[in-house]
Amino acid sequence: MSSTKRRDMTPIVDLTREKGTGPIRTRRPVYVDLLPPCNNACPAGENIQAWLDLAQAGRYREAWEALVGDNPMPAVHGRVCYHPCETACNRSELDAAVSIHAVERYLGDLAAAQGWAFKIAAPPTGKHVLVIGAGPSGLSAAYHLARLGHAVEIREAGPLPGGMMHFGIPAYRLPRADLLREIARIEAMGVRIVTNHKVEDVLAEKEAGNFDAVFVAIGAGIGKHVDIPARDAARVLDAVSLLHNVTTGEAPQLGRRVIIYGGGNTAMDAARAAKRLGAEEAIIVYRRDRAHMPAHAFEADEAIEEGVKIKWLTTIKEVVGPDLTVEMMELDSQGRPYPTGRFETLKADAIVLALGQETDSRFLHKIPGIEFAPDGAVKVGSDMMTGHPGIFAGGDMVPGEQSVTISVGHGKRAARHIDAWLAKRPFERAPKHPLAMFGMLNLPVYSDADPRTEKTLDLAKRVSGFGEVIAGLSEKEARYEAERCLSCGNCFECDNCYAACPEDAIVKLGPGRRYRYDYTKCTGCAVCFEQCPCHAIEMIPEPAEND
């Protein structure tokens, strides 16, 4: 945030706070770094506050380099991440969250336009790592391993890298050119990607390629099915296959009326894709209500904007030809659906099952020590290693929530543990700082910094093809949005403490170096603490003389 923006923040002074006792201090101020809630919420572990600070100063390349220290695909994530960082953003308590994903996209797109390349500072280690799967987790692991000096080869069963980013996310959300540019930058580091190579025997390939470790990240690319009584049913297909075939140019003829069964983000994508494929009606059937749907609210909003209809509290009981018998549901006190015995008949030319995805991990069953969850997910330890030494796994194929950003975070974590395992040492993660929550900040009671929103494609154009729906921010808009960051828990050198100190006890150390206290002058009056908008100062008990 620029100094002019930040200096507008006249803090609210709490006169009830305990003061010092003049020249005899009972407490002294200290500068601290707390953890911003956006950083804490990011599944990829980005230092969001740091790169926003650089972006607001117009230091875009430095901002991008800080960002890609954790996440190699900002142009992708700025488009497809569900931005839990913004849900956690303290600014939402004041007016509206910072549009972090939009600034991230701007930096990613700028890097592509400028041809910025990744830097590798570590010397070669002589170690070789095999990565199975070129989806978000595999690409992330390969990138971070390469940065650590290891030689990496990715083996991918499909014809192109990207995994579900390429074959599961529609192009109107993620244009393929943007995805492939970010993958090409990873390849330019020396990461070798071999496509059309399905690994069937991990241990044999590890031995034949002389690999020192393996990271398995094949994702969850199989659509779940459900047993629905059907006689001469309308065409039934799963959403994963539908979205894959749309990407490969082999989209099926769905007919005029399409029913999508499910309530997650994939169901929304399948319904929106059906509209673009010519369906006059795309109707989502979901057994719970909107408050309990797994899809993100904005995904449902965008689908409804495009003409998708949603029948809440409804489940399919039987399919006979083009007729679907559906039953109305109600929710109990725990939000679980139960049948009511009330039925309705719907007609459909095609039914798309969007009931989630699972992984095909059968090729790992022959490896001693590896354990599996009932749905085929691979069990791993906190170090991302399976029960077989040297074989790690992550992404959608391990138990837990599934998203592109979670998978990228898994890849980074696995790379660090693989690096430590290869060096025969434990990986020790630095402890987290305490969170800087909204109530800790000294902010104004008003706001004059409304967010900048990304423009969307005209509705008629949106449903007529697979062109990108959302446009990015301009340079001016992205910088403005970065300036809205409150820098929670981290000093941004606003000079409030320096200007407020009545004893001239604060020493400026120069740009980027912040300040220090001259405790021979400080009386412990706490004015600096009360004037710090971001809570980068704490008052601590005065140390005893013998401490």
Contact indicator for 50, 65 with CB cutoff of 8 Å: no
Give residue 12's pLDDT band: very low, low, confident or very high (50, 70, 90). very low
Q: Return the closest-CA partner of residue 267 out of 311, 201, 329.
A: 311
- CA distance readout (Å), 248 to 217, 242, 355, 387: 22, 10, 22, 37
d(CA 108, CA 124): 27
Average pLDDT of the residues of the chain: 92
Q: Going along 195-274, which residue ranges are E strands?
A: 213-216, 222-223, 230-231, 235-238, 257-261
Q: Return the closest-CA partner of residue 102 out of 404, 453, 405.
A: 453
pLDDT digits (tens, 9 = 90+) for 165-181: 999 999 999 999 999 99
Give residue 547's pLDDT band: very low, low, confident or very high (50, 70, 90). very low
Write down the pLDDT at residue 13.
37
Write down the pLDDT at residue 233.
67
Cα-Cα-Cα-Cα dihedral of 266, 268, 269, 270, to 10°? 80
For domain 128-221+359-422, which CATH number applies: 1.10.260.40, 1.10.3720.10, 3.40.50.300, 3.50.50.60?
3.50.50.60
For 34-116+442-483, which CATH superfamily applies? Alpha-helical ferredoxin (1.10.1060.10)
d(CA 11, CA 332): 47
How far separated are the first and last CA of the chain, in Å rounded?
39
Q: Return the closest-CA partner of residue 132 out of 157, 109, 149, 107.
A: 157
At 273, list the tokens.
Answer: 């894709």
Contact indicator for 217, 395 with CB cutoff of 8 Å: yes
pLDDT over 70 at 445, yes or no: no
- Provide the whole-model pTM: 0.91
Share of the chain above pLDDT 70, in %: 94
Half-sphere exposure of 258 (CA within 13 A, CB side): 31
Q: What average pLDDT score do residues 394-421 get?
A: 96
pLDDT over 50 at 7, yes or no: no
pLDDT over 50 at 4, yes or no: no
d(CA 86, CA 76): 17
Write down the pLDDT at residue 537.
97
Q: Within 374-494, where are the H helices?
A: 404-422, 459-462, 475-483
- The residues pairing with 470 across neighbouring beta strands, listed in sequence order, are 456
Break the chain into its structural domains and give their ranges. 1-33+491-547, 34-116+442-483, 128-221+359-422, 224-355
Q: Going along 428-476, which residue ranges are E strands?
A: none
pLDDT over 90 at 276, yes or no: yes
Helix (H) or strand (E) holding 327: strand 323-331
Write down the pLDDT at residue 84.
96
pLDDT digits (tens, 9 = 90+) for 234-265: 688 999 999 999 999 999 999 999 999 999 99
Helix (H, G, I), strand (E, B) or coil at 470: strand
Q: What average pLDDT score do residues 460-487 get?
A: 94
pLDDT over 80 at 22, yes or no: no
pLDDT over 70 at 149, yes or no: yes
Write down the pLDDT at residue 235.
86
Q: Within 279-346, where are the H helices?
A: 297-305
pLDDT over 50 at 76, yes or no: yes
Q: Going along 375-486, which residue ranges are E strands?
A: 391-393
Give the fold, CATH level 3, of 224-355.
Answer: FAD/NAD(P)-binding domain (3.50.50)
Q: Residue 290 carries which DSSP code?
A: G
pLDDT over 50 at 3, yes or no: no
Contact indicator for 453, 105 with CB cutoff of 8 Å: no
Helix (H) or strand (E) holding 78: helix 74-80
Write down the pLDDT at residue 10.
38
- Indicate if 34-116+442-483 has the same CATH topology as 1-33+491-547: no
Give residue 98's pLDDT band: very low, low, confident or very high (50, 70, 90). very high
The phi and psi torsions of 242 (rounded to 5 degrees) equal: -60, -50
Give the fold, CATH level 3, of 1-33+491-547.
Answer: Alpha-Beta Plaits (3.30.70)
221: exposed, middle or buried (Cβ count in 10 Å: 0-12, 13-18, 19+): buried
pLDDT over 60 at 380, yes or no: yes
Half-sphere exposure of 121 (CA within 13 A, CB side): 2
Region label for 469, one of left (φ > 0), alpha (ψ between -120 and 50) or beta (otherwise): alpha
d(CA 373, CA 529): 51
